[in-house]
Amino acid sequence: MNAANENKPLTSAGKCPICGKPTEQQYRPFCSRRCADVDLNRWLTGSYAIPVVESEPDDPDEDRRET
């Protein structure tokens, strides 16, 4: 390794999933504190929730046996 590479800050080749700007090492995988907070808010408010499809029990007598 040469001396020029040792002083170079680490950069990420990725893009921010919120705004698409290049990521910053301090906020990785985001570009800023703001985008990290936007992502956290989406998690906390349920925007990233996976939809669930409830299915009927295979055995109609199953509900009666569980109680």
pLDDT of residue 55: 80
Average pLDDT over residues 20-39: 96
Q: Give the total number of structural domains in the chain.
A: 1
Q: Is 19 annotated as a binding residue?
A: yes
Q: Is residue 60 part of a domain?
A: no
Torsions phi, psi of 22, nearest 5?
A: -60, 145
Q: Is the pTM of this model over 0.85?
A: no
Residue 35, token pair as written in the block: 């985008």
Where is pLDDT greater, at 64 or 40?
A: 40
User: Residue 20: which CATH number?
Assistant: 3.30.50.10
Domain that holds residue 37: 10-47
Q: Is 61 inside a domain boundary?
A: no
**Burial class (CB within 10 angstroms; exposed 0-12, middle 13-18, buried 19+) of 6:** exposed
Confirm whether 67 is domain-assigned: no
Is 41 part of a structural domain of the chain? yes
39 is known to lie in a ligand binding site: no
Question: Residues of the chain with pLDDT > 70: what percent?
Answer: 64
SS3 at position 43 = helix
Instruction: Please indicate, yes or no, if residue 5 is contained in any of the structural domains.
Output: no
Q: Which residue has the higher pLDDT, 29 or 62?
A: 29
Is 4 annotated in a binding site? The answer is: no
Instruction: Yes or no: say if 1 and 13 are a contact pair by the CB < 8 Å rule.
Output: no
Contact 9, 25 (CB under 8 A): yes
35 labelled ligand-binding: yes
